[in-house]
């Protein structure tokens, strides 16, 4: 189990204990006042204490300065990163107890983040009248005509939604929560998830590395031109309408794997092995380790499944 997952579970248990105290005392009370300025951008930043809530609303012109995006947030109900309009912007709010919310442009990198949690009360479940995770969210926009050098998004707790982003290097990391990606174009794409479902739609990439611990995975209209590495520990996984050129390696521990490929059968070589579970290729059940390597194949599949069925269908 990943370190981030263990930390999340420990904080969850402590949070339940602290929540009882907070609930008995009527919830947490607002503290202090802090104001910020908008000197780093053409918009404005307002950071105020509303039951320890921090807000950000800031915009940057698209003048070629911003080439990298770094997002690292502790506990935000919904993080949206999407291509929209002709400027960069960050708008949202987060509890200070959950690390707050900051947005800063340094050199060519726009950084959106939060500090380590300053309070172990169970703010994400909303016991008492004050702190609720559903009150927290951030929307980050990138101009539609911009291809970033790097885009790196990390979330400890909460949903992560990425739409329309173009980047040479794109990395999505979500410890606890669902992850959704749509209309993504990245030379190198990496996605990791500890607990939560993952859904991808219309992804174009040269190389991809996808790793899930616990959760369902679906990908529709997925194009990998050179290399794909996919690994999941617990949960079903399905690729539909996919084109997998080059080398693709799948490792599944517990759960079914379904590959519906938009490729003729003769264009893909494959090696498939399932320890416990049946294997079907174009509807035909096969037994044991299956190997088929046509000459001049555009792609090569390597599948290792421990516990679960493997289904592969080819279409022209």
Render pLDDT for 85-139 as a digit per residue (tens, 0 to 9).
999 999 999 887 777 899 999 999 999 998 765 543 433 333 334 446 567 899 9
- In this prediction, residues 294-316 reach a mean pLDDT of 90
More confident residue, 33 or 54: 54
> Is the confidence at residue 306, as pLDDT, over 90?
yes
- 130-144: b (≥16 Cβ within 10 Å) or e: bbbbebbbbebbbbe
Render pLDDT for 157-199 as a digit per residue (tens, 0 to 9).
899 999 999 999 999 999 999 999 999 999 999 999 999 999 9
- The span from the CA of 120 to the CA of 142, in Å, is 33
pLDDT at 225: 92
CA distances from 90 to 9, 46, 47, 175 (A): 29, 12, 13, 22
pLDDT at 133: 59
Q: Kind of pairing, strands 109-113 and 68-83?
A: parallel
> Is the confidence at residue 296, as pLDDT, over 90?
no
| Prediction pTM value | 0.80
Structure confidence at residue 297 as a pLDDT band (50, 70, 90): confident
pLDDT at 191: 98
């Amino acid at each position: 189990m990943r370190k981030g997952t263990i930390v999340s579970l420990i904080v969850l248990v402590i949070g339940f204990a602290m929540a009882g105290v907070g609930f008995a005392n009527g919830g947490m009370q607002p503290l202090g006042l802090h104001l910020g300025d908008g000197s780093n951008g053409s918009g404005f930043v307002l950071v105020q204490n509303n039951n320890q809530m921090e807000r950000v609303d800031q915009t940057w012109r698209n003048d070629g300065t911003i080439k990298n995006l770094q997002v690292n947030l502790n506990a935000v109900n919904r993080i949206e990163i999407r291509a929209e309009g002709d400027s960069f912007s960050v708008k949202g709010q987060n509890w200070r107890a959950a690390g707050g919310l900051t947005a800063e442009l340094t050199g060519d990198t726009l950084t959106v983040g939060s500090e380590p949690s300053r309070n172990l009360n169970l703010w994400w479940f909303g016991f008492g009248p004050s702190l609720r995770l559903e009150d927290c969210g951030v929307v980050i926009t990138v101009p539609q005509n911009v291809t970033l050098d790097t885009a790196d998004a990390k979330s400890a707790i909460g949903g992560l939604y990425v739409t329309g982003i173009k980047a040479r290097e794109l990395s999505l990391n979500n410890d606890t929560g669902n992850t959704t990606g749509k209309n993504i174009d990245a030379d190198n794409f990496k996605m990791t998830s500890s607990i939560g479902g993952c859904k991808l739609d219309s992804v174009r990439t040269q190389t991809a590395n996808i790793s899930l611990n616990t959760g369902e995975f679906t990908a529709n209209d997925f194009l990998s031109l050179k290399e794909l590495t996919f690994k999941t520990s617990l949960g079903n996984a399905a690729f539909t309408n996919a084109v997998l050129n080059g080398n693709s390696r799948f490792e599944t521990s517990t759960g079914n794997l379904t590959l519906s490929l938009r490729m003729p059968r003769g264009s893909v070589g494959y090696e498939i092995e399932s320890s416990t579970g049946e294997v079907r290729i174009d509807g035909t059940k096969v037994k044991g380790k299956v190997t088929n390597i046509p000459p001049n194949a555009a792609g090569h599949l390597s599948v290792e499944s421990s516990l679960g069925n493997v289904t592969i269908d080819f279409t022209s």
